[in-house]
Structure 1
Amino acid sequence: MKKPHTLILQRIYGEQGTNGTIYYQGEKICHTIELPDRNNIQRISCIPQGRYKLEKRKYTKHGEQIGIPHVLGREAILIHTANNAMKELMGCIAPVTTLTGQGTGTESRKALEKLKTLVYSLWDEGGEVFLLIK
């Protein structure tokens, strides 16, 4: 049986974007930026709160990424780099090192590497990884 691991994404909603922080076992991993909450409308809203199983996905544009496959009414939701939600995201989640405003942050690549290192190590141990958004 695969051991379940849960990452917790604690969100703060704003008009210009949704900011969050991902924790694993009480330790802060990185901050996140997303689009504002617009009732889960494809391409213009962050995804709804809930528990999602993360999966490895390969995309031509982004290479191998952490995917969030089972979002109601949505597809191809990823965790990938971006420093400005309104300009660079269409419903995905972007990890950032520092939050600079609503839906904006810095050093997304560095934050994504940290998150990927953790998630991939849990997968390599044969675990299942979930993201709990609240």
Structure 2
Amino acid sequence: MALKSTLVLRRTYGEQGTNGTIYFNGEKICHTIELPWRNNLQRLSCIPEGCYKLEKRKYTKHGEQIGIPAVLGREAILIHAANNAMKQLMGCIAPVTELTGEGTGDESGKALDKLKALVYTLWEQGDEVFLLIREGR
């Protein structure tokens, strides 16, 4: 039977974007940026708080990505690189190394590599990996 590993994303909401931090076993992995909360509107809002199973997704253009497939009313939600939520995201989550403002950050590619290394290692061990999203620091 597969073990269940859960990453925790703690968010703060702003008018220009949603910022967060992902933790695993109490250790900070990276920060995140997302669109502001707009009632889960497709391509305009961050996804709702909740617990989501992460799955590997393969795309011709972007290769393997971490997907969040079971978001009510949404499709193709991914965790991918971006440094500006309003300009580069349509509902997905972008890891960043440093937060620079509401919905903005730096070194997203570096943060994504760190997060992918963790998640892929857990998958290779046979774990099911979940992302628990909640408000708070």
Q: What corresponds to 1:85 in structure 2?
A: 85
Q: Count matched residues.
A: 134
User: Structure 1 residue 60: deviation in Å?
Assistant: 2.1
The residue type equivalent to 1:50 in the other structure is: G
Percent of paired sites with the same residue: 79
Deviations 1:73-113 (CA, angstroms, capped at 9, x unpaired)? 00000000000000000000000000000000000000000
Q: What corresponds to 1:44 in structure 2?
A: 44
RMSD over aligned Cα atoms: 0.4
The residue type equivalent to 1:46 in the other structure is: C
Q: What corresponds to 1:114 in structure 2?
A: 114
The 2-side partners of 1:11 and 1:74 are apart by 19
Residue segments in structure 2 that go unaligned for 5+ positions in a row: none
Deviations 1:43-97 (CA, angstroms, capped at 9, x unpaired)? 0000000000000001123210000000000000000000000000000000000
Map 1:1-134 onto structure 2 (within 5 A).
1-134=1-134
